[in-house]
Structure 1
Amino acid sequence: MTFNPNANIGSGNVGRAGGGGGFGGGGLPLGPLMMLGGGGGGTIVLIILFLLFSGMFSGGGGGGQEQQSAQGGALEHCQTGKDANEKDDCYVQAVVETADAFWQQEAKSAGFTWKEPQGRVFSGSVSTGCGAASSDTGPFYCPADSTIYVDVSFFDELSSRFGANQGQLAKAYVVAHEYGHHIQNLDGTMNRINRRDTGPKSDQVALELQADCYAGVWARNAVETKDPDGNRYMEPLTEQDVKDALSAASAVGDDHIQGEVAGGRVQPDTWTHGSSEKRQQWFITGYNEGSYGACDTFSNRG
């Protein structure tokens, strides 16, 4: 998947975050994470990385006073689709910009009030409205400051450690999934569910599968979104692009990480994100249907 080289991806809500100081503040939900083990002490790093895509930092959903995300500078070198095709930080910015353009319009028919998120690229560690985090966390969404945080070094981890394809839409899936959590924050889903439960039919898994579905909805519609100058942001997707996204969804399935990646026993009762099969299923559902209403994972937990 490539961006139109002439597209204007300049952004007022995406930039580089200032540094943090490791885990602290709001902190990581270490209790639920530790339950995901199953391969000895050597799997602890992998268990921590399993927070990938969870949005499970403390801070909860919307409704409280919004905290400020880490301050940093604009990505001034990220101005065109050509920049996005060549630099991963610009790629993150471009995905957020296309998602802004699509979801702002979709919110009108879906019936929730629109507010764009912030996006922050960081390296090493970062301070957030949900506490401090490190790169080991993987990409995440913090509902307390409505911000998507991405250390782009994770894109290499996605293929080298988790086994996903290296295609660009695999990277876009990562960002679009986190953007899906922002939609859940806006429409109130995060505040309505039990996020402490685990297992294939838990609310927490349904939340993650819904974010996968929203990523698919974005992918279906992103090729039609246009920049402020009327240029389409993206080139048409290919069959290989979709396969790359499905590869990424499979790579971060609970069963794949517990078994093939961590080398442990697959324990469905501890799942927080869903199986590889379900993550692929809901991404492709969103992609095929192309609408917010297609992503009711809470009523379809089979």
Structure 2
Amino acid sequence: MTFQGNGPLDTSGVSGGGGGGGRGRIALGGGASIVVAIVAILFGVNPGDILGGDSSGGSTAGSGSSNSAIQSQIDSCTIEKANSDTICRIVATKNSLDRVWPTLMPNYTKPETVIFADAVDTGGCGSATSAVGPFYCPGDQTAYFDPTFFTTLADQLGGSDAPLAQEYVVAHEFGHHVQNLQGTMDKAQKLGSRGATSGSVRLELQADCYAGVWAEHADKGPDALLEPLTQQQIGDVITTAKAIGDDTLSGKNDSEGWTHGSAAQRTRWFTTGYRSGDPASCDTFSTNRL
């Protein structure tokens, strides 16, 4: 178990999406395409333009029936279900994040969350297929998740399928929402999208740190949704952070093409946020030691 308590979850701001025609297929290539596509979205580029997209509508759209089923599942989510059901776990993590961040950031506003199957049309970042992985679209202030990504993460990329590892992924995307509210994405764009000290790497490492900040606070206080976290659960997050480091995904140490940071960097910045519990400790833009 990760979540404590019982009763229904707040599902406002969460919807079952999909039906996106895409702009062509986005093939999953051992995780590298996920990294490229997420960076494309954050930097205002349709991912289909980069990852084999075309205008033929070749991607598989999320069917109306699957989206309706997702919405029904969302509507039925309870705290108890969040401990065993991936969709409800995403909803519960959003509930927790939306409780924690207002205590740390006075001007925090809740992002929308869309849980989709196969493909989705966004309100501000074009269209994408499941191969993009989870992403945040600053144009519509919405975080997007296809739950099947967590299977890919564990089975193909070497991450953990443990609950807190999945919650870390959700918290990371909400970290991008915090950055969007802070104006940090504009700063990142000026520093470029590739390379060891690029704006993209700094943006992603800061989102990892913000995920750590959330984890530190998520099991504290009378309204905490998470049970007290264990070192094993933090270890599950570290396993996933290492698995999606640029050097792990590419199998190379060459940092020229980095977009998210190395396994060691992702681990260090999540840990920094978790140990401090302070968003101010996550200033990846004012340090030369990433």
TM-score, normalised to structure 1, is: 0.81
Residue 113 of structure 2, aligned match among 105, 116, 119? 119
Q: 1:196, CA displacement in angstroms?
A: 2.9
2:134–2:144: 8 Å Cα contact kept in structure 1? Answer: yes
2:160–2:239: 8 Å Cα contact kept in structure 1? Answer: yes
Matches within 5 A, 1:98-177: 98-108=96-106, 113-129=107-123, 130-177=125-172
Query: Is the partner of 1:176 in helix, strand or coil?
Result: helix
Q: 1:281, CA displacement in angstroms?
A: 0.0
Q: 1:52, CA displacement in angstroms?
A: 6.7
| CA 1:8–1:221: 2 relative to 1, 3 Å | farther
Q: Deviation per CA, 1:77-132, whole angstroms, max 9, x where unpaired?
A: 11x21111121011001111110111112112xxxx22110011100000002111
Matches within 5 A, 1:259-270: 259=251, 265-270=252-257
1:280 aligns to 2:267 (yes or no): yes
Matches within 5 A, 1:1-302: 2-6=2-6, 8-23=8-23, 44=29, 46-51=31-36, 54=39, 56-57=41-42, 59=44, 73=71, 75-78=74-77, 80-108=78-106, 113-129=107-123, 130-193=125-188, 194=190, 196-224=192-220, 231-259=223-251, 265-302=252-289
Query: Is the partner of 1:172 in helix, strand or coil?
Result: helix
The code of the aligned residue for 2:254 comes to: Q
The code of the aligned residue for 1:15 comes to: S
Q: 1:8, CA displacement in angstroms?
A: 4.3
Q: Hey, what's the Cα distance between the residues in 2 that align with 1:141 and 1:46? A: 17
Q: 1:274, CA displacement in angstroms?
A: 0.2
Q: Hey, what's the Cα distance between the residues in 2 that align with 1:245 and 1:280? A: 9
Q: CA RMSD in A?
A: 2.4
Moved over 6 A (4+): none
Query: Is the partner of 1:149 in helix, strand or coil?
Result: strand
Q: Deviation per CA, 1:46-89, whole angstroms, max 9, x where unpaired?
A: 431224754734549xxxxxxxxxx97472111x2111112101
Q: 1:6, CA displacement in angstroms?
A: 1.2
2:8–2:79: 8 Å Cα contact kept in structure 1? Answer: yes
Q: 1:44, CA displacement in angstroms?
A: 4.4
Q: Which has the higher contact order (CA 8 A, sep 6+)?
A: 1
Question: Any unmatched runs of 5+ in structure 1?
Answer: 29-41, 61-70, 260-264
The code of the aligned residue for 1:148 comes to: A
The code of the aligned residue for 1:203 comes to: G
| CA 1:52–1:96: 2 relative to 1, 3 Å | farther
Q: Hey, what's the Cα distance between the residues in 1 that align with 2:262 and 2:113? A: 28
TM-score, normalised to structure 2, is: 0.84
Q: Hey, what's the Cα distance between the residues in 1 that align with 2:29 and 2:8? A: 42
Q: 1:224, CA displacement in angstroms?
A: 2.1
Q: Deviation per CA, 1:252-271, whole angstroms, max 9, x where unpaired?
A: 00000001xxxxx4431110
